Structure 1
């Protein structure tokens, strides 16, 4: 089968389109013929950063990717939920060696859900890690009707899903993005828009119950803490909360933490229902061919992607 392997961590020149043996489904796995995958900023970070080489578990070849949608072609002996021919989607082995950049993936059945019939494989593949990145921490902190929610990087992959999920729970959403994405984020359901290029959000946003910080810029968490109510929560989606940030949060009476998503078939079933009922829907900025994965990485690294990037596999 074809797979986009990583010869070593570093630049996109380290990608190699190769033919490797097809994996076999273990007792608790299903073998998926992959139709589409998704590219995330985290993919590029893992590709270039040797400090997170642990993700590959010392396994060779190194194959990036966690998001997929496809068809079950083989089931392990313990798998009861899926049968050959089922269309499935999900986030595979996150955090860990997902190996989704391939034509076939042996995936834990417990990480997948049936793909809704009203969406394509492309749409399903992009509605995976980015959705869980927003959904899992929101459910953890207990978002509810009337909550005031601030979402930074609201026009990106996670951000545009975060708006829709927050609105599903009945929240009032304040979106932070560039002016060029104003119409886009408002179309996703945002109630208020802040242009980060011309406004200091911490000076104009009324206190919020929940802030979802998806900006990697140093000092952004400290700025965002200023708009969270005492008793409220800040969720960092990029990195652990530093000592300085923790001290400020404690002084303000704010709970602040970093949330790393975990693969979950149960959560994917919930996502499938949201997609099926039309409560969330992905925006796909571009679809690449499988051999164009290096180009897709260049785009995701620009930080300017609107919504999601998808790759059609077969």
Structure 2
């Protein structure tokens, strides 16, 4: 099979095919015939110079497909089951491929009404938002500020915060304000028109997906004993402590329980992935280029013909 790998760090052009044997599942694993793989900002960052070494390195973690082989001691799935999952993250998963092996605990059954493209999108990004809200213990009646709410994590975060009964304030650029409102955000701010800290204060929690100056400034809008969770930089713990604010950086982890929760939310009509573009696997470099424009609304997904 042709696995997409990198032999060096660099731009999208370093993503190249490599002929490798079809993988064989180990004990506690299944092999998945991949129908779709989503692309995340972490894919592009680690392509440029991430922690994975020992070239060639295979990127990609978000898959949806069909189980076509079982490793020893596997009873949770059967051949023919449609599954989706976040595989092995943050270790190498080699998911830009027609087949991939995965621990059974990193997969869940795909809802029948969910396409493989939708399922591949409903993995790392919404799991990140879900785990962030678990960390801050976001509950009904609280107010949460979500940055970059039109993006991959952000557009899921708005929906998941609303299912928790939270009041959602969201930041976005002007062209995406209506999209973010359509997700259920209660208040939407154009961060390019006026600094968000001039428009909001004393929120119970902030989910930062941007980092940099946005992360630093976010500390000042959180109430005492409130929460700031970031996925895009080192948490400003010293400044947060001065204000009596909890601040942590999280890294998403595979979770079958979390995937089952997301599947149930989708089936109930409370969670919908927005797919902005799809590309064939052979055009993975173009998918990376599209994501790196930083203008993506929702998710980009690679589709494999079956």
Alignment of 1:242-281 (within 5 A): 245-281=236-272
CA–CA distance in 2 between the matches of 1:272 and 1:248? 38
In the TM superposition, structure 1's runs of 4+ consecutive aligned residues that sit over 3 Å from their partners are none
Tell me by how many angstroms 1:239 deviates: 2.1
| Structure 2 residue aligned with 1:222 | 216
| Structure 2 residue aligned with 1:36 | 36
Task: Determine if contact 2:143/2:205 at 8 Å carries over to the other structure.
Answer: yes
Out of 100, 109, 128, which is 2:123 matched to?
A: 128
Alignment of 1:153-192 (within 5 A): 153-192=148-187
Question: Structure 1 residues 1-10 or 292-301, which shifts more?
Answer: 1-10
Alignment of 1:71-90 (within 5 A): 71-90=66-85
CA–CA distance in 2 between the matches of 1:13 and 1:203? 42
| Structure 2 residue aligned with 1:47 | 47
Gaps of 5+ in 2: none
Task: Determine if contact 2:201/2:220 at 8 Å carries over to the other structure.
Answer: no
| Structure 2 residue aligned with 1:142 | 137
| Structure 2 residue aligned with 1:100 | 95
Gaps of 5+ in 1: none
Q: Secondary structure at the match of 2:133?
A: helix
Q: Does 1:286 align with 2:286?
A: no
CA–CA distance in 2 between the matches of 1:39 and 1:208? 31
Q: Deviations over 1:197-226 (max 9, x none)?
A: 11111011132111001113x222221111
CA–CA distance in 1 between the matches of 2:150 and 2:16? 31
State TM-score, norm by structure 2.
0.97
CA–CA distance in 2 between the matches of 1:140 and 1:116? 27
CA–CA distance in 1 between the matches of 2:75 and 2:47? 35
Task: Report the RMSD for the aligned CA atoms in angstroms.
Answer: 1.0
Tell me by how many angstroms 1:19 deviates: 2.3
Tell me by how many angstroms 1:247 deviates: 1.5
| Structure 2 residue aligned with 1:10 | 10
Out of 112, 115, 121, which is 1:117 matched to?
A: 112
How many equivalent residue pairs? 305
Q: Secondary structure at the match of 1:94?
A: coil
Q: Secondary structure at the match of 2:68?
A: strand
Tell me by how many angstroms 1:240 deviates: 2.1
Tell me by how many angstroms 1:115 deviates: 0.3
CA–CA distance in 2 between the matches of 1:229 and 1:295? 42
Q: Secondary structure at the match of 1:226?
A: helix
